[in-house]
Structure 1
């Protein structure tokens, strides 16, 4: 670990010289268990999801590993059934449902102080805004998390009071979700009410994987306020929203997470969806971002 940390320091000397428009190669991957008390009437069953933070020299992206795993599982199920079908022109498919997961990806660019958020609402949308400035207070408390020596910091952010543990040996000024701005990777964090928790699960070198970090160029560009209005319309009338957007999809060359898209719909006789093991509730009366008290 010490040798890898020294390598990171050398690789990140020029971390703030790259443009946000330039693809960045991922160097490390941190994995987190995200826990969120979304339904305050049912606190014993919090929302849970496995997330990953890929960090490079000039950028990072925070996204759902659970979503990726669900999509891969679905794709394998469909591929195996298509391959073993008695009549490939009349397919009867059984698919395991994925459950409620995150549709957002967060791209941080400390050098240009930009935050890009991708979210899928029928189409893929991308917003750009200033990277949030968080006024951290660094404490003297220290803690070993695995093999990482961490230090405590506290801050008020998005309506909540957070306690975070960062590792100064890992020279990244980022963290899970929108958390950023400490002199080292934010390894673990939680609000003091323990309603929003980012639990550290692991850290690894992925510098040989050739994974790139860059907001998708083919997303629909919009403003955060406009996207919020779109989400509000969807939440107020889901069926009406689906009808109004039917057939109005933006093209995308990337994997959309819909394995059925590659199959001729005329060849599908039936689709049976069975319940998966994801027990996350759709109820969210306690959003991660709260309005500030006046």
Structure 2
């Protein structure tokens, strides 16, 4: 039986990172950032917030949304409860209460043998790797320090994709990574913000011990492309989703697909109703991209 979805909000049944990663690296630790972002410059009273995650090794890092992971866990719990309590186990009616807003941005950064930054995007089940053409940041390290949650940090200034950032990094954590595309300093970036204070990453916590997280790496079944080509693919998908899916059917991800419906029989789901829980005010427009300058590739 097909799944009927009734919703006042869109829902994406996300898949987890594929186990089939290229050159998997064991995770050394994890940083969580409290993210604050002025999404709409005409509504500066509204600040978008999210918790973001940086998993790091000695030579690489993976940046993603911790909030999105929490949302998936919440929905899996709601699915489990619906199946357990359904009067008819073969016709399960499910109501999902959406979690907090979460981004789909993912970035993989390598520091050796040479710096490389990759955006990882998904479109209709197909994974894409987009190498950044702007990689190096010309950081200026400043003779100024402050302590963040017990970590002594040093100040640096640098420009990335049209924004001038101040970053606070800790040499006691000697890994050359930070949030999103910020990297290249001789220590983990624990705090960063642009001059306009429109994009702000505050440290939530550091977990630099055995975390039990899955190894990180670029997805082995992804297609490498450019920013321009991916933008064209997005437009093609918007114009005719089914034609795009048919054309890319052979490229769909075949690795681990631990989405929110993993472990449940979709044929027994009669309907899914999604209740919108977003606290974003009406009329907010995303007119202030984090990257003010597009990657020219």
Same fold per TM (> 0.5)? Answer: yes
User: What is the CA distance between 1:52 and its match in structure 2?
Assistant: 0.9
Instruction: Look up the match of 1:12.
Output: none
Query: Which of the pair has the greater relative contact order for Cα pairs under 8 Å at 6+ separation?
Result: 2
Instruction: Look up the match of 1:135.
Output: 138
Alpha carbons of structure 1 residues 251 and 210: separation in structure 2 relative to 1, 3 Å: closer
CA distance in 2: counterparts of 1:78 and 1:55, whole angstroms: 32
Instruction: Look up the match of 2:61.
Output: 60
**Pick aligned residue for 1:170 from 162, 169, 173:** 173
Q: 1:65-144 alignment to 2 at 5 Å?
A: 65-98=66-99, 100-111=101-112, 112-123=114-125, 124-129=127-132, 132-144=135-147
**Count of aligned positions:** 268
1:264 pairs with 2:263:
no
Partner-residue secondary structure (3-state), 1:214: strand
User: What is the CA distance between 1:45 and its match in structure 2?
Assistant: 1.4
TM-score by length of 1: 0.83
Instruction: Look up the match of 2:192.
Output: 189
User: What is the CA distance between 1:231 and its match in structure 2?
Assistant: 3.3
Alpha carbons of structure 1 residues 160 and 131: separation in structure 2 relative to 1, 3 Å: closer
Alpha carbons of structure 1 residues 129 and 158: separation in structure 2 relative to 1, 3 Å: closer
Conserved? CA contact 1:121–1:231, under 8 Å: yes
> What per-residue deviation string (whole Å, max 9, x for no partner) do you get for residues 251-270 of structure 1?
333235342794334x3322
CA distance in 2: counterparts of 1:171 and 1:92, whole angstroms: 50
Q: 1:1-294 alignment to 2 at 5 Å?
A: 21-98=22-99, 100-111=101-112, 112-123=114-125, 124-129=127-132, 132-207=135-210, 209=212, 211-233=214-236, 238=238, 240-246=239-245, 250-255=252-257, 257-259=259-261, 262-265=264-267, 267-277=268-278, 279=280, 283-291=285-293
Segments of structure 2 that go 5 or more residues without pairing to the other structure are 1-20
Conserved? CA contact 1:27–1:206, under 8 Å: yes
Alpha carbons of structure 1 residues 144 and 189: separation in structure 2 relative to 1, 3 Å: same
Conserved? CA contact 1:48–1:280, under 8 Å: no
Partner-residue secondary structure (3-state), 1:215: strand
Alpha carbons of structure 1 residues 131 and 59: separation in structure 2 relative to 1, 3 Å: farther
CA distance in 1: counterparts of 2:54 and 2:213, whole angstroms: 15
Alpha carbons of structure 1 residues 222 and 77: separation in structure 2 relative to 1, 3 Å: same
CA distance in 1: counterparts of 2:199 and 2:281, whole angstroms: 15
CA distance in 2: counterparts of 1:251 and 1:175, whole angstroms: 28
Partner-residue secondary structure (3-state), 1:39: coil
| Cα RMSD (Å) | 2.4
